[in-house]
A and B are shown apart, each in its own frame.
Chain A
Amino acid sequence: MTLPAPGIDEIRSKASPFPRRHFLSVTDLDPVQVAAVLDLADLFVALNRQKSKKIDLLKGRTLVNLFFESSTRTQSSFELAGKRLGADVVNMSPRSSSISKGETLIDTAVTLNAMQPDILIIRHASSGAASLLSQKVDCSVVNAGDGQHEHPSQALLDALSMRRAFGRIGGLTVAICGDVLHSRVARSNVALLTMLGAHVRLVGPATLMPTDAARWGAEVCHDLRTGVAGADVVMMLRLQLERMQGALVPSMREYFRLWGLDREKLALAALGAKVMHPGPMNRGVEIDSDVADDLSVSLIQDQVEMGVAVRMAVLASIAARLDNR
């Protein structure tokens, strides 16, 4: 899908103010608001494909990327999004700051708050860390992943990738496969996709499935073949290697055999099914390279591109509601 480059006025007119000061969870949005963010993101996709990708919607604003957990793609995605919108972006990571010297999360928040940032983007290994931070600062907080809880911008970019591939989300069958237990991506996606009317299946070994996941509004399945049968989208999740030494899964080879996506298992999905992965991939563990690299089925590269556009849309919407202090 290629759109003519949108003008600044078109973007300004579509950047409706975000409904809340913070973006902590996909449940902060309703389906209409999600559609508005995705519509706006579509414009940014077109913009990002231009030679000149800059727009001054966030001119003068300060963005702080506060990543307690190392991340390449999410951090650079937010950084690019901020810079393309004309904001000043500061990256902070634990190794280069006082956080590693024992300062608490709240101390850090108070310190940063005093520097008058406009938007704080936080990634932290503890569930609920973004919410805690949001209660202690005056600026907006965007959750870029809190522990095993939520990763709302990932769910939005996944939704955008699906909407562009299928033209809709409602009615799609999406199989989210693998380590659901430890996945914030899965939690955000289940909430967002079910809100948008997709049929979601959670597929994985019982040891990697949260308690009572069947009550999330998704169907739970302990067999990959059954789980991907007839699915429009097969979303594979990353499995941490340390979880494969017998504690939760017997071995890497058993995991790939039973839960890894290859051509044969993908053939059971619906005709024209697409494969997604939030990255980084463990090739030969949860996904076969043969499938991951096939651009006719894989949306994995699209997801990265959509990531920047969706984050621009989120930041632009949040900026549209920020008042001048």
Chain B
Amino acid sequence: MTHAPSSGPVAIQGARLVDPASGYDGRGALLVAEGLIARVSHGRDLDNLPAGTRVIQADGALLCPGLIDLRVKTGEPGNEPKETLKSAARAAAAGGVTSIVVQPDTDPVIDDPAVVDFILRRARDIELVHVYPAGAATKGGLGKGMAEIGLMHEAGCVFVTDADRPIIDSRVMRRLLAYAGGLGVLVAHRPADPWLTAGAVATESEFSGRMGLAAEPVAAETIMLERDIALVALTGARLMVDQISAAAPLESLARAKARGLPIIATASINHLTFNELDIGDYRTFWKLTPPLRSEDDRQALIEGVVSGLVDIIVSAHCPAPPEEKRLPFDEAAPGAIGLETLLPALLTLHHEGRAPLLRLIETVTLAPSRAIGLDAGRLAVGAPADLLLADIDAPRVIDAAELISKSKNSAFDGRRLQGQVLWTMVDGRIVYQRRQI
């Protein structure tokens, strides 16, 4: 997707550059021209700017690559009242997210090159952020026959996944990994044993037991992950573990990585922020898949992010309108929106001293970019000018009603966070702006 470049070069002076690709976190400046990063300066401001350059004084604000979110759901096509590609793209821009990967479990399912093409055309017309479709791994996302992975990849899908639905049949999973791997296409899979998770709405624990909620044990995730690891060892294909959520599967992941297997893993910002107790009095905005786990699991997940065991953080943006959330807990739809709160929620881990800023930014820029083979995600000369400028200290109270997303099911509603996006740039064009500059 290419946007028309903005008119004339733009220089951002006096910023705090955070660039995981070069490992730089410090004062610097950047010149954008023709939609690309033209110059990068570590330390001093840029001089000898081209004539007609518009200069933005950043006053020490964070300037980093725009975020790349590999797990976003919208309702388009098929369920537009939830969220359209346009509303999701506007929410993304407001959150400093410059690339989103939409999940294929729409209606119709993205299991056909024509639907991939539809998404890309819509995104081009919307002209806000980059929107990439993930293709379904199996026909209809039903876990039986392989979808047209090669044709969808040619059309522009960036990886394949059946989203929330696990691929139960091990033979299908094996063939899928072999086939996609042979074509160089990444497969993402959320590990969940279908029998242990059947009917579950919470994680199995003392809390869910007292609350009387049908629950799944963490073992459901561990069992399926161990199977997937064995199949990766068999096929040699790349796998992205979608939303690892607990300590035990992290141990499996660590062993697999130690063996040198080509496995990467994502975690959702929700599982890094909340634990099962946040469900409180059956609050359905905290009903998620996988379910929120124990505090020990959350701590293990944060350590995994810091150590690099968890490669990528996603928003797991999942819009659900009130009619799907204002229901008894076990009848409510799972999921929470997250595009606009991803950055401040990440910054919380920085402000709490849990993780270095550079590492946190890496998990939402360079790491996802590498996973799906984009040029973005780095502050390097020649890279697309997908950028965000943010005041990382600005205090705010999240008010779901003020969020741009069509659905307001934010788990961060009422939460005090720090960090405010000042503007977002995609291919050199400002697509969101908090204040006049």
Contacts and interface: CB of A to CB of B under 8 A. Distances in A.
A251 B183 CA distance: 15
Contacts of B175: 207, 247-248
Interface string B164-191: 0000000010010011011100000000
Nearest to B111: A250
B139 interface: yes
Contacts of A49: none
A257 interface: yes
B302 interface: no
Contacts of B172: 247
Given A206-B235, A222-B183, A245-B145, A250 B178 contact: no
Contacts of B150: 250, 254, 257-258
A168 interface: no
Interface string B146-162: 11111100100000000
B350 interface: no
Nearest to B174: A207
A321 B362 CA distance: 74
B144 interface: yes
A248 B138 CA distance: 12
B151 A246 contact: no
A198 B146 CA distance: 35
Main secondary structure of the interface of A (DSSP, over half): loop
Interface in A210-248: 222, 245-248
Nearest to B142: A246
Contacts of A245: 145
B183 A250 contact: no
Contacts of B145: 245-247, 250
A258 B154 CA distance: 10
B181 A206 contact: yes
Contact of A207 (B144, B147, B178): B178
- How many A residues touch the partner, as a band? 10 to 19
Indicate the member of A206, A248, A249 with the most B CB atoms within 10 Å: A206
Contacts of A95: none
A250 B181 contact: no
Contacts of A253: 148, 151
A205 B151 contact: no
Interface residues of B, number: 20
Interface string A185-211: 000000000000000000001110100
B147 A250 contact: yes
Contacts of B149: 250, 254
Contacts of B147: 246, 250
A246 B111 CA distance: 12
A254 B182 contact: no
A254 B149 CA distance: 8
A245 B138 CA distance: 11
Nearest to B112: A251
Nearest to A258: B150
Contacts of B138: 246
Indicate the member of A245, A251, A253 with the most B CB atoms within 10 Å: A251
Given A257-B150, A257-B151, A246 B181 contact: no
B235 to A, nearest CB: 7
A31 B138 CA distance: 47
Given A246-B138, A246-B139, A251 B179 contact: no
A258 B179 CA distance: 12
Contacts of A205: 178-179, 182-183
Contacts of A249: 146, 179
B197 to A, nearest CB: 25
B183 A246 contact: no
Interface of B: 138-139, 144-151, 154, 172, 175, 178-179, 181-183, 235, 237
Interface of A: 205-207, 209, 222, 245-251, 253-254, 257-258
30 contacts: A205-B179, A206-B178, A206-B181, A206-B237, A207-B179, A222-B182, A246-B139, A246-B145, A246-B147, A247-B145, A247-B172, A247-B175, A248-B146, A248-B175, A249-B146, A250-B147, A250-B148, A250-B149, A250-B150, A250-B151, A251-B148, A253-B151, A254-B148, A254-B149, A254-B150, A257-B150, A257-B151, A257-B154, A258-B150, A258-B183
